[in-house]
Chain A
Amino acid sequence: MDNPENRKINSTIAAFDAATFNFAQYPDEHGRFGEFGGKYVAETLMEAIGELQDAYATFRNDPEFIREFETDLRDYVGRPSAMYYAARMSEAYGAQIWLKREDLNHTGAHKINNAIGQALLAKRLGKTRIIAETGAGQHGVATATVAARLGLECVVYMGAEDVARQQPNVFRMKLLGAKVVPVESGTRTLKDALNEAMRDWVTNVDNTFYIIGTVAGPHPYPQMVRDFQSVIGKEARAQMLEKTDRLPDAVVACVGGGSNAIGIFHAFLNDKDVALYGAEAGGEGVATGRHAAPLTAGRPGVLHGNRTYLMEDENGQIIGTHSISAGLDYPGVGPEHSWLKDLGRVTYDAITDAEAMSAFHDVMRYEGIIPALESAHAFAYAKKLAPQYGKDKIILVNLSGRGDKDINTVAKMEGINL
């Protein structure tokens, strides 16, 4: 449930802080967002991470790099993505609902923005081999896509459980020439795929570039992925002003590792009157323990190269997560979100599987759009917020991806045999 206590804190801090705070200054030179972030990796990778950090520090200000990135986003991805007024949904939910259509991107989700950016870096660093982890398979597909386009070898690690529930994407990756490696260790989901990708990277660090799919991992990944994804919010803010002559009252996004959320939030951080909301995966309900909501129900710790909120037991072991959505089924979250939570700038709450399923149907029936199950969490959150905002207020929802990949899961949930 939306926590009114959080909203109060959110608006109080925003009132005297957010408008002037220099968010762009973070992370600091150590890769930290306050106490979060950093570089917690084995020594063997420190050299590669340092190299990446230096390269990225140069290229992020290099006009030639930026031009190439922007050209690819326009001509290959199809950006800018549309901004769409969801009229029937607005009627039903009780606030003006606008959608940022990342589902219309080439490969069907926001993940491609980041994959393009990192692949351009890999090329400039002379790497010949690309590896990635994937949960829902969207990042794997995006990475396989850019690797095919650049003629690079591509290996994608995917938890065995996710391989089973995201078959269409597994096949797409194979068609694109990638090798998909099912990961059988641990909980056989996204976190274990990340472990396996790290193991590959440490072994093949000389020729291999690791394209991480979200704003997690060691510095500079959280910064780099945020920068590549922040095109979402830059476009959305301008489109909102152009179409409605004002800014939205609220922006809502789902949070797995947090890349689509950071991507849309970033351009609005200094707009103190724009409330920002992140929907985590509440699974069967936070009270049951079967969920994937570290910001709502976890505590700070160290995993996968950074300090952030995690789901862990009393011994510091990472605990198994649960969500119908493979892309949200992760026990950690990008460090910048942990920091934005503690700052009070963004409000995070958990959305259950059932709430997301119900919103999934809403999007289909009201708007004729199949949303990804990940994105359905953002819609469910918007549905809860809408009555608090009312008909005059604008809620912008990040539709992070299309849901064709999820129809098998939905059918199974509803006991239908395809």
Chain B
Amino acid sequence: MSRISPLFEQLRQQNRTALIPYITAGDPHPDATVGIMHALVEGGADMIELGVPFSDPMADGPVIASAHERALAHHVGLIHVLDMVKSFRETNLKTPVILMGYQNPIEAMGIDRFAELAQAAGLDGVLTVDLPPEEAEPASRAYRAVGIDPIFLIAPTTHAERVRHIAKVASGFIYYVSLKGVTGAANLDTDALAGRLQEIRSDCGLPVGVGFGIRNAETAAAVGKVADAVIIGSALVQLIADSAAGANTDNWAALRQKLQDFMAQIRVALDQKTQN
């Protein structure tokens, strides 16, 4: 079993919401990524979602698409991302790490070989944006065989019957895409979200994380009241883009501190739920 279900079980007992930051591996520089991962955990992340750079990130908006381009300028491929997970694991055996990306780099490596290397690296889950349940079975089977969770998306357009089907093939947690659109789109309507999450919960027993459109502590706190996990991507990636411009490539300490502080703010906002 991966680290994901135990994490959600523990958080449930503590009545806490999971905080899941997304960064693109290799952005702004391959040497910075592992340090950033540790800083995110220091700042209060419960799980880390690592984007695998791809030449054609169709489901991503301009902020994350640019992060992919920055990482690709350093030729960061799936094999390097797995190396980063492995070196993160040298000092952190606790925090789940999942990959988010597109199917082609995985196919290029070979699904079985990827599953084997991912297990060896200490990976916990894989979310493949362009792999809906209809196409996912060969990959999901390989992941389950090595104790890695295949994670699936549910969208505002996903009807109840599909939600039930996805709940059957998914494990770990469900990633609810809070709005129609690409990553980094406008803010979301948290009231509508609450109703929708209730519907999804009645069709699906897995924890539900919410991503897309969460950019600051207030939205995170609002979403955290109704979701099991809050996923923050574009806001963080934008912060990396702004801070990394002109940063000293030999020393990423300032960037790490900035990201850790940003996480800590969100953590505090999320944890207020437990206090009141």
User: Footprint of B on A, CB under 8 Å?
Assistant: 30, 38-48, 185-186, 191-192, 195, 198-199, 202-206, 300-305, 310, 312, 314-319
Contacts and interface: CB of A to CB of B under 8 A. Distances in A.
A202 B105 contact: no
A43 B130 CA distance: 8
Interface stretch (B7-15, B150-158, B267-275): B150-158
B250 interface: no
Nearest to B158: A43
A315 B162 contact: no
21 contacts: A38-B134, A40-B130, A40-B131, A42-B153, A42-B155, A43-B158, A44-B157, A46-B158, A47-B157, A186-B56, A191-B56, A192-B56, A199-B181, A202-B59, A205-B180, A301-B107, A302-B104, A305-B130, A312-B108, A315-B75, A316-B106
B6 interface: no
B108 A314 contact: yes
Interface string B147-167: 000001111111100100010
A315 B129 contact: no
Contacts of A317: 53-55, 72, 77, 104-105
A195 B58 contact: yes
Interface string B206-220: 000000000000000
Interface of B: 53-59, 61-62, 65, 69, 72, 75, 77-79, 102-109, 129-132, 134-135, 152-159, 162, 166, 177, 180-182, 185
A46 B165 CA distance: 13
Nearest to B156: A44
B213 to A, nearest CB: 12
A401 B37 CA distance: 53
Contact of A43 (B62, B78, B152): B152
B157 A42 contact: no
Given A302-B104, A312-B108, A315-B78, A43 B180 contact: no
Given A42-B153, A302-B103, A202 B132 contact: no
A312 B105 CA distance: 9
A185 B152 contact: no
A43 B155 contact: yes
B103 to A, nearest CB: 4
Contact of A203 (B57, B65, B182): B182
Contacts of B56: 186, 191-192, 195, 303-304, 318
Contacts of B155: 42-44, 46-47
A197 to B, nearest CB: 9
A316 B157 contact: no
Contact of B130 (A41, A186, A300): A41
Contacts of A199: 58-59, 61, 181-182
A294 to B, nearest CB: 13
A181 to B, nearest CB: 13
Given A44-B155, A302-B103, 20 more contacts: A41-B130, A42-B129, A42-B132, A43-B153, A43-B157, A44-B177, A46-B132, A47-B158, A192-B56, A195-B56, A195-B57, A300-B107, A303-B56, A312-B108, A315-B108, A316-B54, A316-B105, A317-B104, A318-B104, A319-B55
A292 to B, nearest CB: 15
Those 4 A-B pairs whose CB atoms lie nearest each other, nearest first = A316-B108, A315-B77, A316-B105, A44-B155
A244 to B, nearest CB: 45
Interface centre among A47, A48, A191, A316 (most CB of B within 10 A): A316
A203 B182 CA distance: 7
Contact of A301 (B72, B104, B166, B182): B104
Nearest to B80: A315
Contact of B177 (A38, A43, A300, A318): A43
Contacts of A43: 132, 152-155, 157-158, 166, 177
